Amino acid sequence: MNVAVIGVGRWGINHVRALMTLKKERISSVSLEDIIAVDINPENLYRAKSLGVEKAYTSLDSFVSREKVDAAIIAVPTKYHHEVAKKIIPLTSVLIEKPLASNIKEAKDIVRLAKKYDRVVAVGHIERYNPVIMAVKDRLKELGEDIIYISGFRVGPGPVASRSNNLGVAHDLLVHDIDTANMLVGSLPTWVIASKNHLKEFPYEVEINAVYGYENKVVASLRASWRTGPKLKKRIMLIQTESHIITFDYISQYFTVESGLKEHRSSPEYVDLISSYESRSVENISLFSGKKEPLILELIDFLESVEKGREPIANLKNGYLALKCVLASLEAADKGIRVKINWDDDPI
């Protein structure tokens, strides 16, 4: 299978690295041959070649006219997802990095193109391949309890003002947690309220706090922020059911399951009072393994989906729905009102 990576900058170069790992170690049923890099920046292409890429193009049009590939990965900045997808989907199946597009009009056109050319289209919601997410999903199934509440906290340093082609923190970070929430709840939110913050030197929001409401009174409160120092980064989520609280860390792939209290009583002594509020059961599970890199798992699923003609886990539908949720939160923040999310007019 020949695969192209279009955009080999800050994140795209990781796709090149992961593909090279798959090619050398043969840990997938897919056999990789040529890995082709496309980027307008010669320095980015130089780095790709240092990883083993033999074919490289600085022009997308030149690549399209000269090469035939079995799959392509679009890792250009968000603003250009639609523009590149229009040229690539007629030729081959694609994995488009998250978010799917800048706006809903572009997203709908990508959906239209995928249907017209009958392509497998994945969207880079990499957290769906995070071992800790898979384990938490399994544990929730074992517990057999409905989710009541979700809290997501995703913060880290953002780009400088001159590198705003990926838009704001909602498109870049919030999109991950709303996709995770949708997956865990098993349905879609019907409304959202939100607030956001800006900095003078950056054209888009650098922080957003969004509260999504689902059916059965389930609520997901999600915060995404670039208002941090250069070394502060955290990705955590808390899930509450009727008798359990599950907290997990996306980065360390570690989660905790707490269930109930030893007892619930009043006490005149402070030490006894605190003791009565200890959890009856606390389970700590670490899943981190160098052999379970989410990006490699994502690429294996995408390439095998192309080869077998099936839907990938992080499919076009999920990417479209997550983008629509993000756009609704930005609308709610701009208008200062609760926005209803209507799912009746979607092409997916």
**Each residue's pLDDT tens digit, 158-214:** 988 778 899 999 999 999 999 999 999 999 999 999 999 999 989 999 999 999 999
Whole-number pLDDT of residue 102? 98
Helix H or strand E encompassing 274: helix 270-276
- C-alpha 288: how far from chain center: 19
- Is there a single domain that holds both residue 77 and residue 136? no
Assign 285 a pLDDT band (cuts: 50, 70, 90).
Answer: confident
- Is there a single domain that holds both residue 178 and residue 52? no
More confident residue, 275 or 316: 316
The tokens describing 264, both together, are: 């619930």
The answer to whether 67 and 36 have CB atoms below 8 angstroms apart is: yes
More confident residue, 179 or 259: 179
State yes or no: pLDDT of 275 exceeds 70: no
The answer to whether 165 and 40 have CB atoms below 8 angstroms apart is: no
- Is there a single domain that holds both residue 121 and residue 171? no
User: In sequence order, what DSSP letters do the residues of 83-111 get, joined into one string?
Assistant: HHHHHHTTTSEEEEESSS-SSHHHHHHHH
In-domain check, residue 147: yes
State yes or no: pLDDT of 279 exceeds 70: no
The tokens describing 127, both together, are: 């957290």
Helix H or strand E encompassing 6: strand 3-6
Calculate mean pLDDT across residues 246-258: 95
The answer to whether 204 and 99 have CB atoms below 8 angstroms apart is: no
In-domain check, residue 319: no
- Is there a single domain that holds both residue 118 and residue 150? no
- Is there a single domain that holds both residue 110 and residue 252? no
Sign of CA dihedral 321, 327, 330, 336: negative
The answer to whether 182 and 188 have CB atoms below 8 angstroms apart is: yes
Whole-number pLDDT of residue 119? 98
In-domain check, residue 58: yes
Kindly report the CATH number assigned to the domain that includes residue 29. Answer: 3.40.50.720
Whole-number pLDDT of residue 203? 94
In-domain check, residue 318: no
State yes or no: pLDDT of 34 exceeds 60: yes
In-domain check, residue 346: no
pLDDT tens-digit profile of 77-134?
999 999 999 999 999 999 999 999 999 999 999 999 999 999 999 999 999 999 999 9
d(CA 217, CA 257): 23
In-domain check, residue 345: no
The tokens describing 38, both together, are: 């496309």
State yes or no: pLDDT of 261 exceeds 70: no
Whole-number pLDDT of residue 345? 82
pLDDT tens-digit profile of 45-91?
999 999 999 999 999 999 999 999 999 999 999 999 999 999 999 99
- Is there a single domain that holds both residue 328 and residue 260? yes
pLDDT tens-digit profile of 1-17?
999 999 999 999 999 99
Number of domains in the chain: 2
Kindly report the CATH number assigned to the domain that includes residue 202. Answer: 3.30.360.10
Give me the half-sphere count of Cα atoms (radius 13 Å) on the Cβ side of residue 257.
16
Q: What percent of the chain has pLDDT over 70?
A: 93
